[in-house]
Chains A and B, each alone.
Chain A
Amino acid sequence: MAATKIIPVLARAIRGSAIYFRLVLLALILPLSAQAATEVDTLRTEVEQLKLRLDSLEGSLEDEVQAKESASESQDRPQTPAITIGGALRYTYAWRNFEPNSDAKLGDVGLDLFRLNVDGQRDNFLVSAEYRFYPYMSTLHHGWFGYETDSGAQWQAGVSQVPFGLLPYASHNFWFGVPFYLGLADDYDSGIKFIDKGEAWDLQLAFYKNGELGNAASSNRYSYDPIIVSADNTAQNEEVNTFNARLAYTFGAGRECNHELGLSAQAGQLYNRQTQRHGSQWASALHLDSRCGRWNIQFEAGRYGYQPRNASGVSDNTVTLGAFAYPYAVASRGSFGVLNFAYNLPVAPDSVDLITCYNDFSVLGKDEASFNDSMVNTLGCAIGDGPLFTYIDLVAGHNMIFLGSGSLAGGGNNQWETRLNINVGYYW
């Protein structure tokens, strides 16, 4: 009798549960026991325990649903790994009209580089690094860690690209242009950078303690900085404590034709290791980057100046820059200009991924009247298909470094020289 009264209580307590079935079965068994009536108290205790267990099971079920929902939401996020590893293997063919052996052999083919990239993001924290192995040197291209705020602004600390002029490059071709060889394009230094990029406005501020290596005596670096050559009195300067600001506005952002107009400024110290005095260095530029359909026009005009505190008797008209294991002199003051045109050709669906043809022109006018101006023009195409990317560039330089005896300072043969450059790379 007591057992039959307990059954509805049990049923109410555990309706909807899988345990309901078990207890109905239990209740049917109970009347069979002659001792049932005497064990009601014990049974009540058991029921209480069962109710507690049921509550616990219901709670677990809730947790399980929550866990499933959470798992579902998390899996619905883009499946990007925290760290991605990339790299490239590149070879270069070069024919130079100004080198008799190259001319006679119709050029040379050799390893350009092997590089490894690491990029990652975990929550708001970022990392990006690239290390390059060239046949004649190996060096860090860039390496920074960063933080992205919830509003999208970004901080980078480490070796990062200097925010100056046309970004990310002031050229389309493989061989770059005059600003790169002045250390005023695709330059990397050690410091901290802030980026706040909106739909139209792009503000970048940076402070760089020094060049990318922290060792101004080495030219085994990727980008050009003032460097020190121990046995050369004219090469005793290094850039330190440099501030950069770049502000750009894109007219027509989000439309088919848009035009980025920007101003850049750079100012810092130039420390002379021989005299242990600080000089100064500065640069400024105005740029326009227009994209309309398949066309791209880039323009940049700027000035720069180095005021070294050299030892007495050492000319202030030049400073020595270095990278790619090679130092050279540039004029201490000058104006530079860039005018690039590029067109992205439409390609058939089952052909290559990209053919971009371009003509990049850049010039350096040196303040020192006795120095000849330098200029370089590159006509070429970039062809991409899957992981393969090829640049075919016809580079013509007038008094341009690395082209014959051209120079970005004084001297030079002051004539046009030509180089055919084909760079084939596999990128992953």
Chain B
Amino acid sequence: MRLGLLLAVVLCLPVAQAAEDLTLVSWGGAYTKSQILAFVRPYEQRTDTRMEVLDYNGGLTELRNQVRSLNFRWDVVDLEMSDALRACEEGLLEPIHKHALAPAPDGTATREDFLSGSLTPCAVGTVIWSTALAYDPARLKQTPTRLEDFFDLERFPGPRGMRRTPKANLEWALIADGVPNHKVYEVLATEAGLNRAFEVLTRIKPHIVWWDAGLEAPRLLDTRRVVMTTAYTGRIHDSNRVQGTDYQLLWDHQIWNIDLFGVPRGNPRAKQAWEFIRFATATERLAEQARHIPYGPVRRSSLSRLTPNEREHLPTREANFKNAMQIDAGWWAKHYDRIRPRFDDWLAQPVQVPRKLPR
């Protein structure tokens, strides 16, 4: 009888001690799935924490709203580098906790193990991801071999998919117009350079189908709405792996970026959030994520755990990395608020006579 009582007490104990829920907001689709499998689910199992995973399409509007209203629905946010830098400048993120990160298994300090630039004052890098060009070889008469082909409607006729953002698109427009990688931001910083980039985009604008969420890019190819599209490389790999498609990636002038985890400033669950980040950015967890989506882990120790086969589709593979350009997150953090309204105006201004004016 007494044993039964003890059993009941013991079984009830951990339920009362269950950790608080955490909410991770990320980019959805195959990317979020890789995070769930690599560290969200293991973290739940290890800590009895229940994690909510939400999707968003970037930007700081919602983060600003939550921090300013002290009404926190997000605990850990997956941010693009430029957003992370801007958010940090605006005081929207908690500074990295001194002991937030786990060292490498061989004892290498985190500062040395994380790739240069992947640790910022307010956010911790996780993966190097890349935007490149994807196409369906079955729908093109010849194979595109360089970035310029994306902007060549005569040799490669057909609609193009592009992410609805000036980031990367303006850089590609200038590169396709002959500007070398290292001069892109210097040119883009001038009014003439900005005009030049928009003029290049304007040439193909009537044939652009815009996408917002990452999963839409392979879907545009699935539904034959475009013959080529810019895409997160991991999404194309995932489509080929899961759906059996045969979409090809053109890595020429791929634009890579770093995703980071940050914690909204003032969040009462910040301590738990940093515990999760420490777990999720540990060597084995980041290596595990790369096994589910071919994005490069930002830790050297994680990269060394991947087999050559697992590294083949990473943006950081040597053959894929030729001509690669890192998006200048600092530049975008400084210029985004000026360029975005112009981009939106440009979007609203058709090039061709519209087929259907309001009647």
Which A residues fall within an 8 A CB radius of B?
16-19, 21-22, 25-26, 29-30, 33, 35-36, 39, 42-43, 46, 61, 65, 68-69, 71-73, 75-78, 88, 152, 168-169, 172, 174, 186, 199, 252-256, 291, 293-296, 342-344, 347, 349-350, 353-354, 356, 358, 382, 384, 386, 389, 425, 427
Contacts and interface: CB of A to CB of B under 8 A. Distances in A.
B154 interface: yes
A172 B348 contact: no
Contacts of A30: 3
B98 interface: no
Contact of A26 (B10, B212, B352, B353): B10
A84 to B, nearest CB: 15
Q: Which of B157, B158, B346 has the most A CB atoms < 10 Å from its CB?
A: B157
Contacts of A172: 353, 357
A75 B53 CA distance: 11
Interface string B1-26: 01100110011011000000000000
B287 interface: no
B99 interface: no
B358 A26 contact: no
B207 to A, nearest CB: 6
Interface residues of B, number: 54
A71 B52 CA distance: 10
A291 B358 contact: no
Contacts of B179: none
30 contacts: A18-B14, A18-B45, A19-B14, A22-B11, A30-B3, A35-B2, A35-B3, A42-B3, A68-B40, A69-B36, A72-B33, A72-B53, A75-B54, A76-B32, A76-B55, A77-B216, A152-B224, A169-B359, A199-B158, A253-B158, A254-B153, A293-B352, A294-B353, A343-B353, A344-B353, A344-B354, A349-B198, A350-B345, A353-B348, A384-B358
B154 A255 contact: yes
A291 B348 CA distance: 19
Interface string B196-234: 001000010011000011111000000110010000000
Nearest to A17: B45
Given A29-B6, A169-B359, A349-B346, A61 B45 contact: yes
Give the dominant DSSP class at A's interface: mixed
Given A22-B13, A36-B3, 13 more contacts: A46-B7, A72-B32, A72-B55, A75-B54, A76-B32, A76-B55, A77-B216, A168-B355, A254-B159, A344-B350, A350-B342, A353-B345, A356-B354
Contact of A78 (B36, B207, B213): B213
B28 A22 contact: no
B351 A22 contact: no
B48 interface: yes
B359 A174 contact: yes
Q: Which of B14, B213, B348 has the most A CB atoms < 10 Å from its CB?
A: B348
A257 to B, nearest CB: 9
Interface string B331-359: 00000000000100110111111111111
B356 A168 contact: yes
Given A72-B32, A186-B359, A349-B342, A296 B213 contact: no
Contacts of B68: none
A391 to B, nearest CB: 8
Contacts of A296: 352-353
A5 B227 CA distance: 65
Enumerate the 3 nearest inter-chain pairs by beta-carbon distance, A residue then B residue, closest first.
Answer: A76-B28, A254-B157, A296-B353
B18 to A, nearest CB: 9
Contacts of A42: 3
B29 interface: yes
Given A78-B213, A255-B153, A349-B342, A356 B28 contact: no
A371 B358 CA distance: 34
Contacts of B37: 65
Nearest to B213: A76
A253 B158 CA distance: 7
B157 A389 contact: no
Contacts of A35: 2-3
B346 A344 contact: no
A342 B153 CA distance: 23
